[in-house]
Structure 1
Amino acid sequence: MTSPPSPSLTGDESEVVHINRLPDELLLIIFTKLNNARLLCICSLVSKRFSSVVHQTPSIFLSFPHRQYNDRNENFPKKLFNYLSKSFFRKPPPNKFDGALFQSAVDSLKTFQNVRNLQIQLPSFQQDESILKWHAEFGRDMNICVILFATSVHQTTPSNTQIQNADTLLTNHLLQSRIASANQCFREATWRQHILRHVVENHRQSLEAAEIRDSSRKGKVVMRGRQQLTDLLDPEVKLPASGYGKLWHVQLLRLPEARCVLHGATVVAIRRTDENEEEHEDVGVKHLMKKGYEVDEQLLWEVLTHIFENHAPSRSLNINPTRR
């Protein structure tokens, strides 16, 4: 059975916007692929129909650039405050995060009625270039952050299989430096979780997964499943006041799947716990790994798999999160 030929378009009919012929279901697929919250908001201004379909988009990505400011125009007291905030309080520099812009974007997301997957990208505040990847999850039963460091990374190819050993001993200076960076990374992950709560509460009925990552794409805070999202919004669920950590160090680590070699690889896993919780040798990372991982985290999980199978922790750490 053949379909009737389409009539030829002449005159005003040739100016018909063909996208208007698409059903709402197909438009929604297109907007879902578009994903970007800023572009979706622009599309919603095209027509009432577009606005209605756009606000049913189930997957949203929202990105915030570093706050732009002119250092020359800062007066001395403000420069001093920023210096003290960065050097002593170890919080994300306030001049790099535009709170007003963030709140405006959060308010605009309220009109999206069916958000099931939410991704937010905030400026990266971490200055330690030796951090390769980090991953954090928080909830009633999961308060953990894993950070991967390396002194250097070399890609392996069939013509470059011999990698010279470098001096990558875990000296006291390197140990203290990486512990300090790991603690800072953990605090920033906690700060991101707090920021995420303000967004999630507007979509508690539909949301299934949420993550907030840094602009360097080195790491993210992940909330997976209804239970973790419920815990995030539950005022009775608070991060424990104490914790512990473990540190693993390997001078030379070959990763066949990632096709690279890490010199001076260090993994720091930090976990907040109640005082009566039993301490785990792996800080609970193995349980975290069972949940699976994203493609961009393959390097981190390959390192963790190798280390847990072949190495015991090099150091145990006492964590006091309230200390600044």
Structure 2
Amino acid sequence: MHQMSEDSFDRLPDPLILVIFNSVADIKTLIRCRAVSKRFNSLVPQAETLVLKVDRVISTDSDGSFFLSFLKSIFRSLHHIISPKSLPIQPRPHNSPTQILRGFDRIRNLEIELPGGDLCLEKGAVLKWKAEFGKRLKSCVIMGYRGLGEGEELDFGGDMDGGLKVRVVWTISALIAASARHYLLRELIREHRELERLVLRDRDGEGTVVMDREALRECRDGEGEEEQEEEAVEPGERDKSRTKVPAVQMRMRHEPLLELEGCGVRMGGATLVVVTPIKDGRKTGTEEAGLVCDAFEGMFGEAARTLLKTRTYLLEMNSF
């Protein structure tokens, strides 16, 4: 009778339960698991793969800070399932992903998902970007268009000549969004030194920031240098809401009307921009193609690969 009444789940070894927790990944679910039993409560903090999803964005208040609003939204979205017994966290003046993740000891792979993108574009325009960071920007691939259609219903004519300024604005907007997202990860990177991969994306699939093991180590090693650089800047000139974007070169490709054979649609005003720091030197064709192919899938991936074969416009931009 004793054997029959024994919970079969208790026979599973701890490493196997941790494999299950790593497959679950969702932080809200794992926090709930801590309340199941003392054993679960002790094992959940050892999970190595986590996904933190933000439910909603709280409108900005008097400080006008996207950074603080984002942090408040994370805390409020999780507040109803966090209790002192299940996940003891000391209150702080500004709640952050670092505070929420402080109950986890061995994070190696972390993904943070925002509820929506940051960019406000003209009606009908769509933009996607992927940025890789270390201490600073390593690369950013941007893909956008101004309309989709079939048959002959799209005709943007000489769109590049009249829309170059718009596309530069697209690029700057994407870089600002990427650098703001990178900035808010700094404290988290500093505290979780076992991190090997960090991804910050939005649910709409607009933008993604990626950092691998080498980039994370570079970011930690460069902390002292960053502080010295910030002290050297006049207080009125500092932008404490994002990481500074270095001087970059932008390799831009454009087609007023792009035929996509794979999905059978026509993309109007299709534009691909590959951004890299000037000090890193110009990328080879193979390196640039690798960045583009890793950045997008589906329709955007097909469009980006097609644009790689078209004429390139080279622009340079100072740091900002």
- Of 40, 46, 71 in structure 2, the residue corresponding to residue 50 of structure 1 is 40
Residue 129 of structure 2: aligned partner: 134
Structure 2 residue matching 1:245: 3-state secondary structure: strand
CA contact (8 A) 1:240 1:273 kept: no
Residue 305 of structure 1: aligned partner: 305
Q: Deviations over 1:163-197 (max 9, x none)?
A: 22512232555322221122011111011112222
Residue 250 of structure 1: aligned partner: 255
The alignment status of 1:122 with 2:114, answered yes or no, reads yes
Q: Where do residues 250-269 of structure 1 align in structure 2 (5 Å cutoff)?
A: 250-257=255-262, 260-269=265-274
Q: How far did residue 300 of structure 1 move?
A: 3.6
Residue 113 of structure 1: aligned partner: 105
Q: How far did residue 213 of structure 1 move?
A: 0.9
Q: Deviations over 1:34-57 (max 9, x none)?
A: 111122122113222102221222
In 1: Cα distance, 2:299 partner to 2:46 partner: 35
Matched residue count: 280
CA contact (8 A) 2:251 2:275 kept: yes
Residue 186 of structure 1: aligned partner: 175
Q: How far did residue 243 of structure 1 move?
A: 1.6
Structure 2 residue matching 1:98: 3-state secondary structure: helix
**Which amino acid in structure 2 is aligned with residue 304 of structure 1?**
A
Residue 164 of structure 1: aligned partner: 152
Q: Taking every aligned residue pair, what percent have the same amino acid on both sides?
A: 26
Residue 159 of structure 1: aligned partner: none
The TM-score, its normalising length taken from structure 2, stands at 0.73
Quick one: structure 1 residues 127 and 273, their matched pair in 2 at CA, closer, same or farther if it must change by over 3 Å?
A: same
Residue 148 of structure 1: aligned partner: 143
- Of 207, 214, 226 in structure 1, the residue corresponding to residue 202 of structure 2 is 214
**Which amino acid in structure 2 is aligned with residue 103 of structure 1?**
N
Residue 72 of structure 2: aligned partner: 98
**Which amino acid in structure 2 is aligned with residue 188 of structure 1?**
A
| Alignment root-mean-square deviation, CA | 3.4
**Which amino acid in structure 2 is aligned with residue 316 of structure 1?**
L
Q: Deviations over 1:136-157 (max 9, x none)?
A: 1123796211111112235xxx
Residue 272 of structure 1: aligned partner: 277
Quick one: structure 1 residues 234 and 147, their matched pair in 2 at CA, closer, same or farther if it must change by over 3 Å?
A: same
Residue 199 of structure 1: aligned partner: 188
Mind listing any 5+ residue stretches in structure 2 that lack a counterpart? Answer: 76-93, 230-243
Q: Where do residues 30-69 of structure 1 align in structure 2 (5 Å cutoff)?
A: 30-69=20-59
Structure 2 residue matching 1:55: 3-state secondary structure: helix
Structure 2 residue matching 1:191: 3-state secondary structure: helix
Residue 228 of structure 1: aligned partner: 215
Structure 2 residue matching 1:46: 3-state secondary structure: coil
Q: How far did residue 208 of structure 1 move?
A: 1.9
Residue 157 of structure 1: aligned partner: none
Deviates more, 1:251-260 or 1:118-127: 251-260
Q: Deviations over 1:202-222 (max 9, x none)?
A: 222x32211111232222011
Structure 1 residue matching 2:29: 3-state secondary structure: helix
CA contact (8 A) 1:255 1:261 kept: yes
Quick one: structure 1 residues 18 and 150, their matched pair in 2 at CA, closer, same or farther if it must change by over 3 Å?
A: same
Residue 9 of structure 2: aligned partner: 19
Q: Deviations over 1:107-156 (max 9, x none)?
A: 231332222211012342111262342111123796211111112235xx
In 2: Cα distance, 1:242 partner to 1:231 partner: 19
Q: How far did residue 279 of structure 1 move?
A: 3.7
Mind listing any 5+ residue stretches in structure 1 that lack a counterpart? Answer: 1-5, 86-91, 155-161
Quick one: structure 1 residues 312 and 198, their matched pair in 2 at CA, closer, same or farther if it must change by over 3 Å?
A: same
